[in-house]
Amino acid sequence: MMRNTLVILTCFVLSLYFVYINADLNLQENDINEIRNLQQNIDAYSFADQDIHPPLRADCDCKNGKCANEGEKVVCKCPPGYGNYTQYSCRACECGPNKSCIWIETGWFSSDKICFCNTGYFVDNGKCIADPCSSNPCKNGGSCAVSGSNFTCSCVKPYAGLTCETMPCSKQPCKNGGTCNVGKIGFTCKCPSPFSGTKCENDPCTSNPCQNNGTCKVDGQGYQCNCKKPFSGTNCETVLADPCTPNPCQNEGTCSVVGQDLKCSCKSPFKGNLCEIGPCSSNPCQNGGKCSVDGKNFKCECKPPFKGNKCEIDPCTPNPCKNEGTCSVVGQDVKCSCKAPFKGNFCEIGPCSSNPCQNGGKCSVDGMNFECECRPPFKGNKCEIDPCTLNPCQNEGTCSVVGQDLKCSCKGPFKGNFCEIGLCSSNPCQNGGKCSVDGKNYKCECKSPFKGKNCETDSCTPNPCQNKGTCSVVGQDLKCSCKAPFKGNFCEIGPCSSNPCQNGGKCSMDRKNFKC
């Protein structure tokens, strides 16, 4: 009896627990597995009690499923798209095509399901639907969040739009000096006084406050009405007895009545029926500049970064950054973001800035370096090589450049493209003799022992070998074979050669030695 009471109380508590956890919560799979195991354990425990449930049947009747044996138990296996509704029945999940689920008790006589969704899907109203953020719809670094079955994007400034696809402030939509701010979807304009409207397009005169055909003019943070006679007042709503009271003449003009007409005598530089026309009347100051009268002219106080007499100059138009640099305004200054390899305040410094190409060569940028296109006949990395610099003309020939060719002017008797052909070109000097040009002839400087015009004569006659040495020619050289004790190229070195006799002693030969 105590055991049956425990089972009933446990089922009641779990039923209340399932009611709580199933309130549209997206449970993790581990949590759901624990719930499934706990419910199965309770079912097994309760059915094992003969007083409450009958024992498991061998002829299991599994509705919408198939019976299978698991150990000593017969269980009901459900097909895809179905979940265990009771121990012996399966119920359609209706979570989506081939999506599985688990049915859990939510009360004494009611059950609800928990859907198992694939990656990229989530549960919404008991269905597995695609996660709208899975395709990363938010552009330009925007963050995606699920909102029902749709998504919302949190955009990074300056981007906006449903998918952060626009830069609403890029075209400067705010007029009359308004400041553009990026909102969640579009832009908002912060308008300077007295302007208003979505794009700061409205001024105090937009609503035509001046009555009786009065002319409206923006004045500081408000407006001023130029009233026609005989009207006056802030909005030309009052009829005047004296048209000069108050003075309708603007800009310190003097009012007078001539006949039935009012006349204004204007101070320079103002003019017009009511002296209303001045240097600032045409709004000459552009880009939100503030106009003031300076003598007979106007003067503009420009909003950064604009400048010029009329604030018409945008520092980035035309682009001052050279070599495809990007111009931007930082504070009141222009800043250029340069592409490699360029640098400098205006990206003006590059590989060609130092004019590395010599002799009229044309410089161009090649990657991070420079490349020179040389004018003929110059060559080299910097066109620094002049063909005549190394003087290719031989034998004192004079080098010159004719068109794209090099030309040598030869001294006689030399000839050839490089004056290389002369009287010595045929090597007339024999036996190693050295040939040189002497006027219009050649001259041979013979190596010993040879002599003659072409060094053709053997120089062992007379014998150059001393101390009875024997002369012979070996190749192009003369060789002396010396008798002992003499030696040297010409047998000139003997025992007395070092003057061994001191104090004026006379040295003579004694066979192979000396004698003093």
pTM of the full structure: 0.27
pLDDT at 290 over 80: yes
Lookup: tokens for 376? 């003929």
Tens digits of residue pLDDT in 420-431: 888 888 888 988
Q: What is the pLDDT of residue 352?
A: 93
Q: What is the pLDDT of residue 225?
A: 92
Q: What is the pLDDT of residue 369?
A: 92
pLDDT at 169 over 80: yes
Distance from C-alpha of 199 to C-alpha of 178, rounded to nearest angstrom = 8
Q: What is the average pLDDT value for the chain, to the nearest integer? A: 81
Tens digits of residue pLDDT in 433-479: 898 887 778 889 888 767 788 887 777 878 889 998 998 877 767 78
For residue 469, how far is the Cα from the chain centroid? 90
| Radius of gyration of the CA atoms of the chain, in A | 57
Integer angstrom CA distances of residue 5 from 9, 35, 49, 52, 56: 6, 22, 12, 11, 21
What is the band of 252 on the pLDDT scale with cuts at 50, 70, 90?
Answer: very high
pLDDT at 286 over 70: yes
Lookup: tokens for 515? 């004698």
pLDDT at 348 over 90: yes
Q: What is the pLDDT of residue 31?
A: 54
Integer angstrom CA distances of residue 365 from 352, 368, 385: 7, 7, 21
Q: Rounded mean pLDDT of 269-293? A: 93
Distance from C-alpha of 346 to C-alpha of 350, rounded to nearest angstrom = 11
Tokens 């002693």 belong to residue: 505
Task: Please report, to the nearest 10 degrees, the dihedral formed by the alpha carbons of residues 481, 483, 484, 486 taken in order.
Answer: -70
Residue that wins the pLDDT comparison between 36 and 194: 194
Distance from C-alpha of 18 to C-alpha of 100, rounded to nearest angstrom = 18
Q: Tell me, what DSSP letter sits at residue 331?
A: T
Lowest mean pLDDT among 107-121, 243-257, 487-501: 107-121
Lookup: tokens for 341? 């390899």
| 393 in Cβ contact with 399 (< 8 Å) | yes
Residue that wins the pLDDT comparison between 96 and 346: 346
| 227 in Cβ contact with 249 (< 8 Å) | no
Residue that wins the pLDDT comparison between 149 and 22: 149
Q: What is the pLDDT of residue 299?
A: 94
Closest to 152 measured CA to CA, from 141, 166, 162, 165? 162
Tens digits of residue pLDDT in 17-74: 333 333 344 444 455 555 545 444 434 333 333 333 344 445 578 888 898 888 888 8
Q: What is the pLDDT of residue 370?
A: 93
